Each structure stands twice: as C-alpha cells, then as structure tokens.
A and B are shown apart, each in its own frame.
Chain A
C-alpha cells in the first residue's frame, strides 16, 4: 500500500467527520425552529386579532387554539422524523468510521510489512555476500581434503574450520529468518526505565569484564510508551554491546532518559523522505546512550545503519545489529540517531509517549 493511498484514507475520514459535524446540527436546528416558531406565530395572530378587534376569519378562539395544537403536533411529528433520520445517519456514519478505521489499520499493517520487505530487499545482496564468503572457505577446505592426505591434527583443524564457517552461514540465515517473521509487534504500555534496567542486567557480565562503569541518569515518572518489550530490549542490548566493544579496556557508559515536548527537540537527522514522524505538541520519551570509546570516523557514520556494514572482524559481528536496531525503532514509529565527535559516541532514541 502506498503513502498516497494512506493519505486518501485520511482524507476520507476527515471528510466524513466534517459531514457528521455539520449536517445533523443543521437539520436539528430547523426542526426546533419549526416546533417553536409555528405555534408562536399562530398564538400571536390570535392575540393580535383580539386586541385590535379584527374579525377572526376562521372562527373563534377555541378553533384557533385547536389549530395551534394541531400545528404543534405536526411540528413534533416532523421533529421526530428528523430526529429518527438523524439517528440513522449517526449510526451510518459510525459504521463508516469503523470501516475506515479497519481499513486504516490494514493499511498500517501493510505499510509495516512493505517496510519489512524493503529492508529484506536491502538485506538480500548482503546475505548473498555474507553466505558466499563462508561457502568459499568450505569449498577450499574440501579441495584441500580431496587432493592431499592431511595428518590427523591437520584434518581436525580443517574440519573445525569447515564447522565454524557452516555455523557462520547458518547464523546469518537465522538472522534473516528472525527479521522476516511476519508476526506483528506485541505492543503494550511499557516503562522505558524498566526495559533499560533489564537490558543493562543482560550485559552486566560483559561490562564488568571490560571494567566499564555504567552511569544511570533515568528520570522518574516518565510517561509510558507503546512498544514491544522484547524488540525494544533487543535494541538496547545491541547498543550497549556496541558501546562495551568500543570501550575495551575500560570507560563510562552513560544512560539517560527524559521526556520532551516535540517543539523542544532539535533533530540532528531527519528521517528519510523528509517526513517528520511526530505530530505537533506530541510528548516524546528520549533515551540517550553515550560512551567514552574511540568514537566513529565520519565516513563510517554515514554507513553505520547499512546492512552488513561492520568494522569488526568477521567472527565478531554480522554487521546486522544496527540495521535491525533502526528497523525496530522505525516499526515503533520512532527515531534513532548516532553522533560522534573525535572521542565517544552518543545514540539518541526518540519514542512516542502513551497519550502524548
């Protein structure tokens, strides 16, 4: 589903709401005017003829009152039919809005899916490259075993090399399968600070091994966010591990959370296509993760979210961590940005607050 179609749905809903606002009130006001003005005019006519001794053409006061009551009754009947009509219309509009909402949800799901497919497309060439490399090693191993009579130690070494590269290709395929799972996000209201604490717990062993001090500056009473706990935890663990690897030998890992109104945030990186994902006056929850490592060179910063872009050795990482991280944040309709000067790097994640 394209963005254009999504916009059309929005337009349709806006128009319906506009009609709903305007039409019933308009009809209602006519009905009440008829019900009150007609009896009033008849009564006024009778009083006027009495006061100014004008002959009543139709008959006496009793007849005039009967006509008044009759006209009032007609007015109420008319009003009733209009109200009934109005109720039917409201029910119709409610159904229309419900259908439009269902359609919008379907469109949103399709958009999420198409984002995933786009990401998988981006991944495909990288996957080919990353799987062909271990295959290349395995084929050379097979060639060696075919043409030579290796000693036992040599044989063990070659077979281990083959196993290691089979496992490597397997892990790349598994990552792709994980990523392409069509299951929807399991969205629920979450406390971002608890998620961060859980993620810090998962990397505690690694960070203490590397002599890294974690500085938590988490603001209390933050509004909740609507997110998938497992995926968001995956995001934080990825970023924390990158920071830990960047500070091998020691350093400080700062983790900050706070809330901001949209107009207070200065975006360093606009999302693709120049679309601003947040509405005006929206309340946002911001997470900053800063390390004191060696920093990221400018040329690498541009490609940091590209699939399979890595500066690590092949066995240390697949180059998919930040690519997957960015996709998870985008599925939550949030933003992620990485800044780095000469030393250290700062990752900023911005998510919508619930009800913000």
Chain B
C-alpha cells in the first residue's frame, strides 16, 4: 500500500522549473507554454540577483538560465549556484540568444548540462528540460 502511494507521488508530482530571464515577454509565454502541458510548476524570475534565496525557497528540479542580463548575468549566476550546496546539485540549462562557440564553451566550463539557443521551439525546450531532469551535476 505504502509503495503505491510512493508511486503515485512520483507519477503526479509536477517537476519544478525555475526560469531566469530579463525578457519579461519570454518569461510570460514560456511559463504559459510549459504550464499548459500540466507537467511543470514554474517559477519565473526577471533577474538573477536573488537566485540563491529563490533556489532554497522553490527547490527547482532544473534551472533555465539566460546569459545576457543586467546586474547579475547568467554566467555569474552559475558561479553563485556552483558555490551553493543545493545549487551545485541542480541541473542548469542555458537558454540564450548568444550563439558563438566561445559563449557556449564558457557556459559548459561552469558545469551546465545543456545550452540551447533562442529562438527555440516549445517541443525542443521540453525535450531539453526532460533530458536535464535525469542529469546529475555531481
């Protein structure tokens, strides 16, 4: 009986995705698209200044992170996450309009699990998120 309850929890628990992007329209429509699938619970942040405190409040299963943002950019946010016990365990997917190999390399060196470039189709985005769930950073 107890085993069944545990299985139900696994099946129906929505996965938590934190999206950090300064493009408010992107945050809004991506949140809508992901929530409509019924599989995800979304926390949308328009800056990365409070990423650590929000990480501990929301405990996401994956973080979608933009790179070019005012004040704290995505790479600085990665460094902050890497210095945090929970942050270093959470898979990070970069979602950025920067497309050069140099930009990608910098991000991969910080331990991200995937790098996708904008514009990205919803189904591709979902596939990347699903792939990232199974990924353990440590």
Instruction: Show the binding face of A for B, using Cβ within 8 Å.
Output: 125, 128-130, 132-133, 135-141, 143-144, 147-148, 158, 161, 164-165, 310-314
Contact = CB atoms under 8 A, between A and B. Distances in A.
A138 B118 CA distance: 10
Given A128-B97, A143-B121, A310-B70, A136 B36 contact: no
A182 B95 CA distance: 36
A135 B33 contact: no
7 contacts: A133-B23, A133-B118, A136-B119, A140-B26, A141-B29, A165-B25, A311-B71
Contacts of A128: 97, 99
A136 B120 contact: yes
B10 to A, nearest CB: 26
Contacts of B33: 140, 143-144, 147
Contacts of B26: 133, 136-137, 140
A138 B36 contact: no
Nearest to A300: B70
Best-surrounded residue of B24, B26, B33, B71 (most CB of chain A within 10 A): B26
Contacts of A138: 119
A95 B77 CA distance: 65
Contact of A311 (B30, B70, B119, B120): B70
B100 interface: yes
Q: Is the interface of A mostly helix, strand, loop or mixed?
A: helix
- Give 4 nearest A-B pairs by CB, closest first: A136-B118, A132-B97, A143-B122, A136-B119
B25 A135 contact: no
A315 B37 CA distance: 29
Contacts of B36: 144, 147-148
B22 interface: yes
Interface in B1-43: 22-26, 28-30, 32-33, 36
A139 B121 contact: yes
A164 B99 CA distance: 24
A314 B97 CA distance: 14
Interface of B: 22-26, 28-30, 32-33, 36, 68, 70-71, 97-100, 117-123
Given A132-B97, A135-B118, 11 more contacts: A128-B97, A136-B119, A137-B23, A139-B119, A140-B26, A143-B121, A143-B123, A144-B36, A147-B122, A313-B24, A314-B22
Nearest to B67: A129
Given A132-B97, A144-B32, A144-B33, A137 B121 contact: no
Nearest to B27: A137
Nearest to A161: B25
Given A125-B100, A310-B70, A314-B23, A135 B119 contact: yes
Contacts of A136: 23, 26, 97, 118-120
A128 B36 CA distance: 30
Contacts of B30: 140
Nearest to A133: B97
A129 B23 contact: no
A298 to B, nearest CB: 14
A310 B69 CA distance: 9
B29 A137 contact: yes
B25 A164 contact: yes
B78 to A, nearest CB: 18
Best-surrounded residue of B25, B70, B71, B123 (most CB of chain A within 10 A): B25
B70 A161 contact: no
Contacts of B119: 132, 135-136, 138-140
Contacts of A125: 98, 100
Contacts of A144: 29, 32-33, 36, 122
Contacts of B121: 139, 143
A188 to B, nearest CB: 40
A354 B60 CA distance: 64
Contacts of A311: 70-71
Nearest to B96: A129
A44 B92 CA distance: 108
Best-surrounded residue of B99, B117, B118, B122 (most CB of chain A within 10 A): B118
Contact of B29 (A132, A133, A140, A310): A140
